[in-house]
Structure 1
Amino acid sequence: MRSAPQGEPVSVLDRILAILEAVRESHGTTTITQVAVITGIPKSTVSRLVGDLVRRRYLSRSAGGVAIGLRLFELGARASTPRRLSAAALPVLAELFNATGEHLNVAVQEGCDMLSVVSVRGRLRPVPSRAGVRVPSATTALGKAVLAFTEDDLVLRGVIGEFDPGTRHSYEKELAGVRAGWVAIDRCETFPGVVGVASPVLSPDRIPVAAISVAGPVTDMDPRRVAPFVRHAALALTHRLALQVA
């Protein structure tokens, strides 16, 4: 690999990062020429890479040049979601634990899995999941609660794409029921002997942000009894997150 003259970034990744940093440091809009001067990257290369970044929404183009695009803001918002969720969820989880005494989780979707962000131990031993652990979206109440409200066909296909037609039809019917009642149930599908009840946490424009769940032993936790508590907790968390944005 050749050496970079005057500190010019060599690899494609280095060049892309240098361009993004130069645009960010402009605190507004900058030009291709200015980016080339700041980074030491040939102007033709900057123009080509900026074009790719604009197409992918990492940068946006205007009459004055280029600026940071919406995709970077979206990624930044997603990175802060676990921290915001944790802060907003704690009082909600305290109330839910007092009402149920069972194992609680708040989780976000990551690919075909749900990633636990906050977990509160209940009666279950061993603990079925904890913060930082992934569980499958397809079978868990957490995953069903989110999938029922997602409008991303790629996500849905990734989860149910390999289902046979009969299973897919039954699953889609179950998700329709979740949308109607705002409650999803996992009847020992993920962990033997463990029943889970979950409800979605939505953004102001009804995009699923996370889900909150209660899990307990199938022998003596009635999903119908805890469902209203879970639904109330999810609505409370939805409201708290909306206030953070407002």
Structure 2
Amino acid sequence: MRTAQGDEPVSVLDRIIAIVEAVRECGGCATVMELARTTGIPKSTASRTVAELVRRGYLERTEAGVVIGLRLFELGARATTPRRLGAAALPVLAELFNATGEHLNVAVQDGRDMVSVISVRGRLRPAPSRAGVRVPAATTALGKAFLAFTTDESAVRDITGGLDSRGRYQLECELATVRSCAVAIDRCETFPGVVGVASPILSPQLVPVAAISVAGPVREMDADRMMPLERHAALALTRRLALQSV
């Protein structure tokens, strides 16, 4: 959260953004001391900024520390993509959960990550992710399902550029396989002991807008059985989104 030169954020807006981002990076809850250390902002300045954000409802204080406030939650809920996905996804997720009982996620791509916008807890404890959490696109089934169909070549280059030649080759081969079957698998690459299966959610122009996944414990997760269920859910959600745009 520091500037490129390692200094504290300079402007008031920089400090506000740095503090909110630091709360997210600390798992959704952080003390003022942690925020000051993470952002490079002096503790006294961080404390004043947090107090003002709390007063305005953007942050809240709890016994454990500072958390995201209702005002920020309200603003996030107004984001177009999550709202559209949420309205279309609920019946699809309900059907998929009834069929699997596993952890479900709908996520969108942002930079090198996939950001979960909807999460349904299954039997995994602790849950590998939840709404608002970022996971790496290069290793997760969600990310591979999205990248295999994206038309944004710069996004793919940005992600593969961070890999060594062997990793880049393996990912490119995997994406080619995903394109042929529209299903991606994460075999404990992101979370130890967790297998994920995902498919892309496409726009009417066949451009990926998100991905949907099911994840479960490696010893009990039958990826082959999940693949047709996952593909069916993705197609159903794709159709529901298309009807929204009519």
SS at match of 2:209: strand
Whole-Å separation in 1 of the counterparts to 2:104 and 2:209: 17
Distance apart, 1:158 and its partner CA: 1.2
Question: Counterpart in 2 of 1:194?
Answer: 194
Question: Counterpart in 2 of 1:58?
Answer: none
Question: Counterpart in 1 of 2:97?
Answer: 97
Whole-Å separation in 1 of the counterparts to 2:206 and 2:173: 20
Whole-Å separation in 1 of the counterparts to 2:241 and 2:222: 29
Question: Counterpart in 2 of 1:134?
Answer: 134
Match status 1:207 vs 2:201: no
Question: Counterpart in 2 of 1:158?
Answer: 158
Whole-Å separation in 2 of the counterparts to 1:179 and 1:204: 17
Whole-Å separation in 2 of the counterparts to 1:243 and 1:94: 19
Alignment map for 1:115-130 (pairs within 5 Å): 115-130=115-130
Query: Identity over the aligned pairs, expressed in percent?
Result: 73
Offset from partner CA, 1:90-145 (integer Å, 9 cap, x none)? 00000000100000000001111111011101010000000111111010000000
Question: Counterpart in 1 of 2:233?
Answer: 233
Give 4+ residue runs of structure 1 displaced > 3 Å after superposition.
none
Distance apart, 1:170 and its partner CA: 1.6
Which ranges in structure 2 are unaligned for 5 or more consecutive residues? 1-77
SS at match of 1:173: helix
Match status 1:243 vs 2:243: yes
Question: Counterpart in 2 of 1:147?
Answer: 147
Offset from partner CA, 1:125-181 (integer Å, 9 cap, x none)? 000000111111010000000000011111001111022222212211100100100
- When normalised by structure 1's length, the TM-score is 0.67
Distance apart, 1:226 and its partner CA: 0.7
Alignment map for 1:1-246 (pairs within 5 Å): 79-246=79-246
Which ranges in structure 1 are unaligned for 5 or more consecutive residues? 1-77
Question: Counterpart in 2 of 1:51?
Answer: none
SS at match of 2:127: coil
SS at match of 2:197: strand
* Counterpart amino acid of residue 196 in structure 2: G
Offset from partner CA, 1:26-66 (integer Å, 9 cap, x none)? xxxxxxxxxxxxxxxxxxxxxxxxxxxxxxxxxxxxxxxxx
Q: Which has the larger radius of gyration?
A: 1
- When normalised by structure 2's length, the TM-score is 0.67
Distance apart, 1:79 and its partner CA: 3.8
